[in-house]
Every structure is written in C-alpha cells, then in structure tokens.
Amino acid sequence: MKLWEKGTKINELIESFTVGKDREMDIFLAKFDVIGSLAHIHMLESVGLLTAEELTSLSAELKTIYREISEGNFAIEPVVEDIHSQIELQLTKRLGETGKKIHSGRSRNDQVLLDLKLFTRDAIQSVVENTVLLFDTLIAKAERYQGMLMPGYTHLQIAMPSSFGLWFSAYAESLTDDLLLLQAAYRIANQNPLGSAAGYGSSFPLNRTMTTELLGFETMNVNVIYAQMGRGKMEKTVLFALASIASTLSRMAFDVCLFMSQNFGFVKLPDELTTGSSIMPHKKNPDVFELLRGHCNLLQSLPNQMLTLTNNLPSGYFRDMQLTKELFIPAFRELNECIRIATFAIENMSVNEHILENDKYRSIYSVEEVNRLVLSGTPFRDAYREVGASIENGTFHPDKQVHHTHEGSIGNLCLDLIQVKMNQVTESFHFGKASDAVEALLKN
C-alpha cells in the first residue's frame, strides 16, 4: 500500500531503491506517528471534517495501535511503503471508510516532519537524562579526589600542578555547555510543523494552534514553506549538539587512554574492564575508552554528512530528505550507549594518589616558586630567570605545597557552582509540558 497509489504498478527495482531503509527507520517513528494522528483527528473533528462518532472510533483504534507498538507487536508489512501508510491501512481494515479520513489536511511531508520532531523531543530527553548521570559521576569523583594532585600538561610537557578533582570537574562543566547547546537544538525541534501539508498549506480550515497545544509544542513553524525547509535543518542542528557531547567524551577518552599507559600511570581500571593481547600476557588495554573515542569521533562527522546531503536543495520537498533519517535516528542510540559506558567506566576508575612524589615531576612546581618570590617582593621577570637558572643547574628544591584560592582552581573547585549551572540548564528544557500533552492525548 502507498498513500500516493493511483493504480499503476511501480517497477520492483525502482520501488526497492526508493523505499530504501524507510521501513527500518520508520519503526522508530511509529508511536510518534500515532500521537501526531491523535492530535490531528481531534483538530479535524473541531473544524467539522470528522464527526464525534468518527473521532471516538479513530481515537480508540489509534490507542490500540499505540499499545501494540509499545508491546512490540507491530510491524510495517513488506508491501507497505512507510509507517504512515501502515497505520492508515490498519485503521481502514478495522474501521472501513472512516480510516481513510485520517489523512485529510495532511501530506506525508508534514507527517514525517511531525514524527521526527516528536521523536527528537523524546530522544533528546533521554540524552539529557544520561548526560546528567555522567555529570553526577564526574562531580562525585571530583569531590572524592579534589585534594589529590596530578601533573598538568601543555604541549604534552609537564607544566603545572593539577588535581584529579580539577580534571574530573573540567569534563563535568564541559557537559553543562554541551547541554546548553542541546537545549537550543531542542527549542528548534519543539515547533509544530503540522498543517504545512506538502509545504504550501491546505484549503481546509485547519486549526494549527490547536494541534500545537495538543502536542505540547512551545510554538509552531508559522510559515508553511519554512516548515518544510526545516527538514534537514532541524536534524543538522540537533546533530551539532550531539556532536558537542561526543567531543567532550572523545577528549576525555583520549586523556584516560594516555593516563592509563605505564609511562603515565595516573588512573587504573579493574581488570574486568580491560582486554588483553593474544601474544603479550602482560597487556591490560583500555579498549573501552579507545572504542568510546572512535564512536564519538564518528558521531562528530554526522553534522557534516547532514550538511552535505541537504546543503544545495532549494525550497520544497525532495526525496533526498528521506536519507536524513538514516543519519539522524541511529545517532541517539549510539550516543546514549557511549554516555552510559563512560559513566560505568568512570565510576569504576581508581587513581594513583602519589604521582607527584616522583622526582621527575619536581620542575612542575616552578611557577609556584616564581609566584612565591614575586609575593616576597622580587619582580616577576627576575623571579622567572632565577627559578629557571636553578632548574638548569640542578639546585631547584621547591616547596611542594600548592596554594591556589581563586574560583575554579585546585584549591577552590567551586563544584557547587558547576552543579548550579547544570541544574539551571536541565530545568529550562521544560520536558514536562511535552510529556503531559502526550499523556493527555493517550488518555482522552
């Protein structure tokens, strides 16, 4: 079944190519297609395009289909092109002619736009929840090891004293900015395209404000052409935000791989979280973090792939847009898996508590010594040369007590301020409005 069928049988080779992976991808959109249809038929009844009895019967069957999807008892048949066709076919089989009325005032174009936006709202909430768990783990580690010093590096040369508390909380704070970017993407996704039809609106007296409120959107894409132009743009924007989280994870993973090597020996994973070598019995490899880095680097390529796919398309719908789903939908599952595995590994990570006792790190205190001399009245440039000379001639014996007091430094991590930043950004997503609206649609 195809919603556009006019009685001419399409060539099987062409059909296979044009359908592509749509059935596979559309399963992820199935329950959102039902939710969008529930809002649409309530609106159709309010403007006289459905009777009250038709609304009641359609609502009941759509909720039945929703339960079937939730229970895993739903599939897109091989002869059916996509999720929109499958649901309309199910309704027509069960309700006869009434089932065919559900498409009034809609196009597959605004249906898939709507499905993707509802999917994206839900998927972003899952990413935020998992990211907060990783954030909490990093903050807990920062609190536990806030006084434990470690080397800081520039150019991969030892530079100044750092601490495990500073390192863990750096990645925690990075996640707050990642979620701030994701919040902007969420607001772009959280706009109702329904009613744009094929991109030029409808002669039916549709009430787009009503469907916007029923679906819990923040607002609507007002201009119907722009609503269609949003296909690809919304996905690209969200992927940039997901890539930002992936970038944080990838950089952290690289640090861990470096810190786990014997040359550094800063952190350690339990043996059961490492892998070995087929010929070297001593090996305990940080494969989990290497693969985490690899997955996250691939995730960072997705915005550019989406840009390449959609960059030179004019206004209006083109079938190229179908391919956006293959880039977009799997990204959430992959990123969530990366966040969860990072959280688990960080939770189980232990640290070397005596790194800076090794004499090879003696010069790391040079800046501390320069600052001590400056505080005692020596001009900075003279203090710099004096300490540099003592390091060169082997007479540098620093005071290894580190005295940092300003905000965000070793001695004053301000973890409470980082926590406030995270709380503010997560609370301002306002996920409750969307979830309450969907719950109301499924109950009414």
Q: Which two tokens stand for residue 303?
A: 């915005």
CA dist., res. 104 & res. 48, Å (int): 11
pLDDT computed for residue 7 by the predictor: 61
For residue 281, tell me if it sits in a domain: yes
Single out the residue of 202, 251, 194, 185 nearest to residue 222, CA to CA. 194
Q: What is the helix (H) or strand (E) element at residue 155, kind and residue range?
A: none
Considering the domain architecture, whether residues 34 and 164 belong to the same structural domain is answered as no
Q: Which two tokens stand for residue 195?
A: 């009613």
Q: Which residues pair with 150 in a beta bridge?
A: 162
* 414 pLDDT tier (thresholds 50, 70, 90): very high
Considering the domain architecture, whether residues 162 and 146 belong to the same structural domain is answered as yes
Longest dimension (CA), the chain: 94
* 3 pLDDT tier (thresholds 50, 70, 90): low
DSSP β-ladder status, 149-154 and 157-163: antiparallel
pLDDT computed for residue 278 by the predictor: 73
Phi, psi of 394 (to 5 degrees): 80, 15
> Do the beta carbons of residue 222 and residue 209 sit within 8 Å?
no
Mean pLDDT across the stretch 29-46? 96
pLDDT computed for residue 380 by the predictor: 94
pLDDT computed for residue 189 by the predictor: 97
pLDDT computed for residue 283 by the predictor: 78
The amino acid occupying position 165 is: G
Considering the domain architecture, whether residues 188 and 59 belong to the same structural domain is answered as no
| Mean of the per-residue pLDDT values of the chain | 92
* 21 pLDDT tier (thresholds 50, 70, 90): confident
Considering the domain architecture, whether residues 182 and 98 belong to the same structural domain is answered as no
pLDDT computed for residue 337 by the predictor: 97
For residue 398, tell me if it sits in a domain: no
Helices (H), 145-198: 164-189
Can you give the pTM of this predicted structure? 0.92
- Tell me what percent of the residues of the chain surpass a pLDDT of 90: 74
Q: DSSP character for 341?
A: H
Strand ranges (E), 129-284: 149-154, 157-163, 191-192, 219-220, 267-268
Rounded alpha-carbon distances, angstroms, from residue 14 to 5, 71, 114: 14, 33, 27
- Those residues whose C-beta lies under 8 Å from the C-beta of residue 388, and which sit 6 or more positions away, are 366
Considering the domain architecture, whether residues 273 and 136 belong to the same structural domain is answered as yes
For residue 95, tell me if it sits in a domain: yes
pLDDT computed for residue 6 by the predictor: 55
CA dist., res. 255 & res. 262, Å (int): 14
Number of domains in the chain: 2
> Do the beta carbons of residue 50 and residue 41 sit within 8 Å?
yes
Considering the domain architecture, whether residues 217 and 286 belong to the same structural domain is answered as yes
- Those residues whose C-beta lies under 8 Å from the C-beta of residue 413, and which sit 6 or more positions away, are 142, 146, 165, 166, 169
pLDDT computed for residue 190 by the predictor: 98
pLDDT computed for residue 214 by the predictor: 98
Considering the domain architecture, whether residues 135 and 205 belong to the same structural domain is answered as yes
* pLDDT for residue 138 is more than 80: yes
For residue 19, tell me if it sits in a domain: yes
- The model's pLDDT over 157-184, given as tens digits with 9 standing for 90+, comes to 999 999 999 999 999 999 999 999 999 9
Considering the domain architecture, whether residues 16 and 88 belong to the same structural domain is answered as yes
Q: What is the helix (H) or strand (E) element at residue 335, kind and residue range?
A: helix 324-347
- The model's pLDDT over 60-116, given as tens digits with 9 standing for 90+, comes to 999 999 999 999 999 988 888 889 999 999 999 999 999 999 999 999 899 999 999
Considering the domain architecture, whether residues 294 and 154 belong to the same structural domain is answered as yes
Q: Which two tokens stand for residue 127?
A: 């990413």
For residue 403, tell me if it sits in a domain: no
pLDDT computed for residue 202 by the predictor: 94
Mean pLDDT across the stretch 220-234? 93
pLDDT computed for residue 8 by the predictor: 67
Q: What is the CATH number of the domain that holds 57?
A: 1.10.275.10
Count of alpha carbons within 13 angstroms of residue 88, beta-carbon side? 21
* pLDDT for residue 4 is more than 50: no
Considering the domain architecture, whether residues 88 and 133 belong to the same structural domain is answered as no
Comparing 203-217, 244-258, 262-276, which segment has the lowest mean pLDDT? 262-276
The amino acid occupying position 57 is: S
Last residue of a domain, one of 85, 103, 121: 103
- The model's pLDDT over 309-339, given as tens digits with 9 standing for 90+, comes to 888 888 878 777 888 899 999 999 999 999 9
For residue 55, tell me if it sits in a domain: yes
> Do the beta carbons of residue 186 and residue 117 sit within 8 Å?
no
The residue range of the domain holding 121 is: 108-357+414-443
